[in-house]
């Protein structure tokens, strides 16, 4: 028996809207995957390239490199579909997906049956393979998704749908898949948590200057190991990994009824998760050896990362926990990558006696119209909700109102306050308690602040 793919009924209307005479349209299938089933939450048309040199660009969604006089290039043949362009589109869309959601495959709207032609079939397989390989280059973004990919072909003349599944790392053969449109494919359970950061990462003085990009990659790697070893507790108490998430929800709902506090509708409520990161296991080992490490700088990562994920109604506690872990690392890695790509000049090493404040983009959420699942966008300082709407239109082919952008989940930091405190020498009591070796700590009070990090340069710092 092949895979079963469930999709919202409204997505069929979307496919019909993409029919354009003899043109070909390619896009991404987004959703959640299980062993035998896929739940599709959205179909996102890949924007056609404006010119040949745009195909070489790695940032879809940026209009800075698109000459205004270049007309949009319509794809007249499946052989003209730019594979790398679609693969790059998949990478940027994956950044916007919550943990536990992936690019499940591709769809194509064409005036032919693409699977009846050997060359067309091979082209579709090549696109899927390129997407998979491109995402696997960034494990924090990709997460762990060993499922088969799906390919949906929609004949714009006969309006006939054909779906196949394809394992990139398997035999390479296509299998029949059953695509089903339904009014409600599943009940989605929403999980929310936040992760507080307040940690110093030493930059070892080994005679070589690592770039800021390399330093941040090391921080991501360290954080990933901590998150993998962390304990995720949903609704306040540990639960068996094979327990269904709907069981937890039903218990919460019953408890609320008993407390007579169930005014809100269930689909607007969340399950709360807490993350416990274990202490360093090596700290308990006795050792008489004292090791001095010379450092020429340190990076202090401080702030709060907000996480919101969704799982289908038959998901287990283990699947929910994995989705939360994936969401945290996907969000963190996306911010850092966007930040170092935005730097005009690469920062090699860190200057002595210099303090630099870096602000990676903060997270905002936008709900999909058909199922209310929220996707992410990331806004740099000075950017507003309008930029998120542009990204949503270009990358996901969705139009929403600015009022639907949830922009207050992470608040933007005022850098002026940081520098004023530094110049005046006044520190909050909590900040003074955390200060070590006269290092300046950028202390952030309150909840829901954006994830930021401070690069602190010092002469020599000794760690024990």
DSSP secondary structure string, 73-137? --B-SGGG--HHHHHHHHHHHHHHSPTT-EEEEEEEEESS-GGGSHHHHHHHHHHHHHHHHHHHT
**Residue 31: other Cβ atoms inside 10 A:** 27
Does 426 score more than 70 pLDDT? no
Distances in Å between the alpha carbon of 333 and those of 138, 163, 336, 373?
Answer: 9, 33, 5, 21
User: Judging by beta carbons within 10 Å of its beta carbon (0-12, 13-18, 19+), is residue 259 exposed, middle or buried?
Assistant: exposed
- Confidence (pLDDT) at 329: 95
Least confident stretch, 21-30, 284-293, 444-453: 444-453
Does 459 score more than 60 pLDDT? no
Does 54 score more than 80 pLDDT? no
Q: How far is 131 from 308, CA to CA, in rounded Å?
A: 25
**Higher-pLDDT residue of 413, 372:** 372
Mean pLDDT over the full length of the chain: 80
- 426 Cβ contact list (under 8 Å, min separation 6): none
Antiparallel, parallel or unpaired: β 293-311 and 452-463: antiparallel
Average pLDDT over residues 7-12: 94
Render pLDDT for 145-159 as a digit per residue (tens, 0 to 9).
667 899 999 999 999
Instruction: Report residue 462's pLDDT band, with 50, 70 and 90 as the boundaries.
Output: very low
- Confidence (pLDDT) at 50: 66
DSSP letter for 158, please: T
Does 29 score more than 80 pLDDT? yes
Does 437 score more than 50 pLDDT? no
- Confidence (pLDDT) at 408: 85
Does 140 score more than 60 pLDDT? yes
Q: Which two tokens stand for residue 315?
A: 């998901």
Q: Which two tokens stand for residue 454?
A: 């401070």
**Higher-pLDDT residue of 70, 30:** 30
Instruction: Report residue 403's pLDDT band, with 50, 70 and 90 as the boundaries.
Output: confident
Consecutive H or E run containing 307: strand 293-311
Average pLDDT over residues 88-99: 95
Complete DSSP assignment for 407-462 = --SSBPP-HHHHHHHHHH----HHHHHH--TT-------SSSBPPEEEEEEEEEEE
Domain 4-182 annotated CATH 3.40.140.10 = yes
**Higher-pLDDT residue of 50, 197:** 197
**Higher-pLDDT residue of 353, 254:** 254
- Confidence (pLDDT) at 128: 94
DSSP letter for 404, please: G
Q: How far is 362 from 135, CA to CA, in rounded Å?
A: 22
How many residues are recorded in the chain? Answer: 464
Instruction: Report residue 447's pLDDT band, with 50, 70 and 90 as the boundaries.
Output: very low
- Confidence (pLDDT) at 146: 60
Does 246 score more than 70 pLDDT? yes
- Confidence (pLDDT) at 197: 86
Render pLDDT for 219-237 as a digit per residue (tens, 0 to 9).
999 999 999 999 999 999 8
- Confidence (pLDDT) at 76: 86
**Higher-pLDDT residue of 144, 135:** 135
CATH 3.40.140.10 domain span(s) along the chain: 4-182
Q: pLDDT exceeding 70 applies to what percent of the chain?
A: 75
């Amino acid at each position: 028996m092949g895979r079963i793919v469930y999709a919202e009924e409204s997505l069929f209307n979307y496919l019909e809207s993409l029919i354009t005479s003899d043109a070909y349209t390619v896009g991404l299938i987004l959703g959640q995957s299980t062993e035998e089933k896929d739940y599709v939450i959205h179909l996102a048309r890949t924007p056609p390239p404006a010119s040949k040199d745009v195909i070489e660009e790695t940032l879809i969604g940026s209009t800075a490199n698109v000459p205004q006089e270049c007309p949009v290039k319509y794809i007249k043949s499946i052989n003209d579909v730019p594979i790398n362009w679609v693969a790059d589109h998949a990478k940027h869309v994956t950044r916007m997906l919550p943990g536990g959601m992936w690019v499940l495959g591709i769809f194509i709207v064409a005036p032919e049956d693409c699977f009846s032609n050997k060359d067309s079939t091979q082209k579709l397989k090549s696109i899927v393979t390129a997407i998979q390989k491109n995402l696997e280059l960034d494990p924090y973004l990709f997460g762990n998704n060993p499922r088969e990919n799906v390919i949906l072909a929609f004949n714009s003349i006969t309006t006939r749908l054909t779906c196949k599944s394809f394992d990139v790392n398997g035999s390479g053969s296509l299998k029949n898949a059953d695509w089903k449109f339904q009014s409600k494919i599943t009940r989605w359970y929403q999980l929310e948590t936040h992760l507080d950061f307040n940690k110093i990462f030493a930059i070892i003085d080994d005679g070589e200057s690592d770039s800021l990009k390399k330093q941040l990659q090391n921080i991501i790697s360290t954080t990933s190991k901590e998150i993998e070893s962390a304990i995720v507790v949903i609704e306040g108490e540990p639960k068996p990994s094979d327990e269904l998430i709907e069981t937890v929800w039903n218990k919460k709902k019953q408890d609320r009824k008993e407390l007579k506090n169930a005014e809100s509708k269930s689909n607007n409520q969340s399950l709360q998760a807490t993350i416990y990161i274990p202490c360093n296991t090596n700290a308990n080992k006795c050792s008489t050896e004292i090791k001095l490490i010379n450092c020429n700088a340190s990076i202090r990562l401080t702030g709060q990362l907000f996480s919101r994920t969704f799982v289908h109604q038959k998901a287990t506690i283990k699947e929910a926990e994995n989705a939360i872990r994936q969401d945290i690392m996907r969000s963190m890695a996306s911010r850092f990558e966007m930040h170092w790509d935005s730097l005009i000049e690469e920062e090699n090493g860190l200057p002595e006696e210099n303090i630099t404040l870096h602000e990676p983009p903060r997270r905002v959420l936008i709900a999909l119209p058909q199922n209310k699942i929220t996707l992410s966008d990331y806004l740099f300082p000075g950017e507003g909700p309008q930029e998120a709407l542009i990204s949503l239109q270009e990358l996901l082919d969705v139009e929403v109102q600015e009022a639907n952008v949830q922009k207050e989940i992470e608040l933007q930091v005022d850098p002026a306050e940081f520098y004023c405190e530094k110049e005046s020498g006044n520190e909050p009591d909590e900040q003074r308690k955390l200060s070590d070796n006269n290092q300046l700590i950028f202390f952030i009070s309150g909840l829901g602040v954006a994830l930021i990090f401070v690069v602190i340069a010092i002469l020599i710092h000794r760690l024990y």
